[in-house]
């Protein structure tokens, strides 16, 4: 077992995060409850920024808000001087509501709607990462209509395969994202964008996957992109001011994961970009990255209440909690692995191996298959670690289970940053049958 950030065991044997007893939090705010270690998020953000500062290069670290978007989270990213990656009108709206400076927002997405693009233009979003020909045309029309010269990056698919789960690979050729770098699509897109008076092409973007533990993929992607940039300089006189290498930096979910320090990714990326820029004889571009998971993943812990139990003799002990795939779909979707402890009895002897089941009506609704735990019973709390990324943001109302609350903790203080959904919230958008109204 390992603890992240400020997590520790207090003298009651309870899990404490940010100087706050998680059992007290569970009692006050109910369960399931997401708790974020704010100091750890700050540390991660500073780690990325300092890694670039050390090299004295121009860089932007954009928080990929898809990992966890809420007003408070976006404000925290702002406080830490991060830029922001949004992929939908909803994420953009959240950022704007949080007062995030629009010029530091980058707008992504493989199927942005006309309305979403107009929203971005209305609010003066810093740059739009154009993903496909449809968008290129639509955005050109809109920019013309607005009388604007829109700053764009072109998202390319460099054909680099990162070592990760199949479903979260996005940099390979057979991908729904981006212009293919190798089959002429990226060349055509760049040529079109450069020939339009309504675009200012800042540079190129790629994202090769997620939960990546090696630097090789990033280096390779940079090499492939610069190979093209070399050609584009000759053909179109194009010199990018920005090269964005995306996110995807891996984190430690369980003791089996062994992530490399963030500075190693950054060192390799910076060195390769410097080398490539000098070889191609172009000025050093700004390097942008957009980490999500590695900023917030291990800062999040979910607390559940233990409920029912079912023993299948000689097979398995199922222990159920009051959440599941409705608040963490990653085990069901990616076979993702997590570790957990009893928050109220962290140091008790772990005398059985149990399977942690969720409460959804779905056999695949399992959070952990083989967790060593003290014999747990109702009244105990389970703390599942590393749920900060793609937990709340992928939460859903399957079985009409309300989404949990989210609490930030720091320096002994807790702040509720997302309220728990209520049953009223669940039916708020429902419209009764006409025949039942006013009866």
Ligand X SMILES: N[C@@H](CCCC[NH3+])C(=O)O
> Binding site annotation covers 318?
no
Q: Is 361 a catalytic residue?
A: yes
Catalytic residue among 206, 360, 361, 386: 361
C-alpha–C-alpha distance, residues 255 and 110, integer Å: 35
State yes or no: residue 157 binds ligand PLP (CB under 6 A): no
User: For residues 194 and 332, which CB has a smaller minimum distance to ligand X in the complex?
Assistant: 332
Residue 285, binding choice from ligand PLP, ligand X, none, Cβ under 5 to 8 Å by partner class:
none
State yes or no: residue 85 binds ligand PLP (CB under 6 A): yes
- Among residues 131, 156, 153, 139, the alpha carbon closest in space to that of 200 is found at 153
By the 8 A CB rule, do 385 and 298 touch?
yes
- Contact characters 238-257, ligand PLP, x per CB under 6 A: --------xxxx--------
Q: Tell me whether residue 258 is exposed, middle or buried, using C-beta atoms within 10 angstroms of its C-beta: 0 to 12, 13 to 18, 19 or more.
A: exposed
Residues that bind ligand X (CB under 6 A): 66, 168, 170, 210, 330, 390
> Binding site annotation covers 390?
yes
Structure token digits, residue 99: 């007062």
Strands 59-64, 33-37: pairing kind:
unpaired
Task: For 367-398, give the secondary structure using H, E and C.
Answer: EEEEEEECCCCECEEEEEECCCCCCHHHCCCH
> Binding site annotation covers 29?
no
Cβ 137 to ligand X, closest distance in Å?
Answer: 24
> Binding site annotation covers 334?
yes
State yes or no: residue 292 binds ligand PLP (CB under 6 A): yes
Q: How many residues bind ligand PLP (CB under 6 A)?
A: 17
User: For residues 109 and 159, which CB has a smaller minimum distance to ligand X in the complex?
Assistant: 109
Residue 246, binding choice from ligand PLP, ligand X, none, Cβ under 5 to 8 Å by partner class:
ligand PLP
Which residues contact residue 144 at a Cβ distance below 8 angstroms, ignoring those fewer than 6 apart? 198
By the 8 A CB rule, do 268 and 215 touch?
yes
Cβ 89 to ligand X, closest distance in Å?
Answer: 17
> Binding site annotation covers 362?
yes
User: For residues 199 and 213, which CB has a smaller minimum distance to ligand PLP in the complex?
Assistant: 213
User: For residues 21 and 327, which CB has a smaller minimum distance to ligand PLP in the complex?
Assistant: 327
| Residues facing 127 on adjacent strands | 106
Residue 291, binding choice from ligand PLP, ligand X, none, Cβ under 5 to 8 Å by partner class:
ligand PLP
Residue 290, binding choice from ligand PLP, ligand X, none, Cβ under 5 to 8 Å by partner class:
ligand PLP
Cβ 170 to ligand X, closest distance in Å?
Answer: 6
Cβ 85 to ligand PLP, closest distance in Å?
Answer: 6
State yes or no: residue 67 binds ligand PLP (CB under 6 A): yes
**Residue 65 neighbours by CB distance under 10 Å:** 30
- Burial annotation 304-315 (CB, 10 A radius, 16+ → b, else e): bbbbeeeeeeee
User: For residues 273 and 306, which CB has a smaller minimum distance to ligand PLP in the complex?
Assistant: 273
Cβ 82 to ligand PLP, closest distance in Å?
Answer: 13
Strands 352-357, 366-373: pairing kind:
antiparallel
DSSP secondary structure string, 37-54? EHHHHHHHHHHHHHHHHT
Backbone torsion region of residue 374, taken as left when φ is above 0, otherwise alpha when ψ lies between -120 and 50, otherwise beta:
beta
> Binding site annotation covers 248?
yes
User: For residues 247 and 285, which CB has a smaller minimum distance to ligand X in the complex?
Assistant: 247
Would you say the C-alpha torsion 251, 87, 364, 406 has a positive or negative sign? positive
User: For residues 18 and 250, which CB has a smaller minimum distance to ligand X in the complex?
Assistant: 250
Structure token digits, residue 415: 């702040």
User: For residues 175 and 223, which CB has a smaller minimum distance to ligand X in the complex?
Assistant: 175
- Among residues 197, 202, 180, 198, the alpha carbon closest in space to that of 189 is found at 180
State yes or no: residue 44 binds ligand PLP (CB under 6 A): no
Can you tell me whether residue 149 is helix, strand or coil? coil
Cβ 390 to ligand X, closest distance in Å?
Answer: 3
- Among residues 387, 298, 346, the alpha carbon closest in space to that of 4 is found at 298
Cβ 389 to ligand X, closest distance in Å?
Answer: 7
| Residues facing 155 on adjacent strands | 205
State yes or no: residue 199 binds ligand PLP (CB under 6 A): no
Residue 330, binding choice from ligand PLP, ligand X, none, Cβ under 5 to 8 Å by partner class:
ligand X
- Among residues 245, 242, 391, the alpha carbon closest in space to that of 324 is found at 391
**Residue 432 neighbours by CB distance under 10 Å:** 10
Cβ 155 to ligand X, closest distance in Å?
Answer: 12
Numbered residues of the known binding site for pyridoxal 5'-phosphate: 248, 290-293, 390
Residues assigned a catalytic role: 361
Q: Which residues are annotated as a binding site for substrate?
A: 293, 330, 334, 362, 390
Residues that bind ligand PLP (CB under 6 A): 64, 67, 85, 108, 170, 207, 210, 246-249, 290-294, 389
Question: Can you say which residues are annotated as belonging to the binding site?
Answer: 248, 290-293, 330, 334, 362, 390
């Amino acid at each position: 077992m390992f603890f992240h950030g400020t997590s520790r065991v207090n003298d009651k044997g309870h899990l404490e995060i940010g100087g706050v007893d998680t059992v007290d939090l569970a009692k006050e705010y109910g369960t399931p409850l997401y708790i974020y270690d704010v100091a750890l998020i700050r540390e991660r953000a500073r780690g990325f920024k300092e890694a670039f500062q050390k090299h004295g290069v121009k860089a932007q670290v954009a928080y990929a808000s898809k990992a966890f978007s809420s007003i408070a989270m976006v404000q925290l990213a702002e406080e830490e001087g991060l830029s922001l990656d949004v992929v939908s009108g909803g994420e953009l709206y959240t950022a704007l509501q949080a007062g995030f400076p629009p010029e530091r927002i980058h707008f992504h997405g493989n199927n942005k709607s006309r309305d979403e693009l107009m929203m971005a233009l209305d609010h003066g979003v810093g740059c739009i990462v154009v993903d496909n020909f449809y968008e290129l045309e639509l955005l050109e029309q809109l920019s013309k209509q607005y009388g604007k010269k829109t700053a764009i990056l072109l998202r390319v698919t460099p054909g680099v395969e990162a070592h990760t789960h199949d479903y979260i690979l996005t940099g390979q050729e057979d991908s729904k994202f981006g212009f293919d770098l190798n089959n002429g699509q990226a060349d055509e897109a760049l040529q079109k964008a450069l020939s339009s008076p309504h675009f200012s092409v800042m540079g190129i973007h790629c994202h090769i996957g997620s939960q990546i533990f090696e630097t090789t993929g990033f280096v390779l992607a940079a090499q492939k992109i610069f190979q093209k940039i070399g050609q584009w300089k000759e053909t179109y006189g194009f010199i990018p001011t920005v090269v964005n290498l995306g996110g995807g930096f891996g984190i430690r979910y369980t003791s089996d994961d062994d992530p490399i320090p963030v500075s190693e990714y950054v060192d390799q990326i910076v060195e390769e970009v410097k080398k490539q820029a000098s070889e191609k004889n172009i000025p050093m571009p700004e390097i942008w990255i957009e980490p999500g998971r590695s900023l917030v993943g291990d800062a999040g812990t979910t607390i559940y209440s233990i409920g029912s139990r079912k023993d299948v003799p000689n097979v398995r002990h199922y222990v159920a909690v009051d959440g599941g795939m409705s608040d963490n779909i990653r085990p069901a979707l990616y076979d993702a692995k997590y570790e957990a402890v009893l928050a109220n009895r962290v140091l008790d002897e772990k005398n059985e191996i149990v399977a942690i089941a969720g409460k959804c009506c779905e056999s695949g609704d399992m959070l952990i298959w083989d967790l060593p735990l003290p014999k747990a019973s109702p009244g105990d709390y389970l703390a599942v670690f590393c749920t900060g990324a793609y937990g709340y943001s992928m939460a859903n109302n399957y079985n009409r289970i309300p989404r949990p609350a989210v609490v930030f903790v720091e320096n002994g203080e807790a702040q509720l940053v997302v309220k728990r959904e209520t049953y009223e919230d669940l039916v708020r958008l429902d419209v009764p049958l006409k025949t039942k109204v006013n009866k």
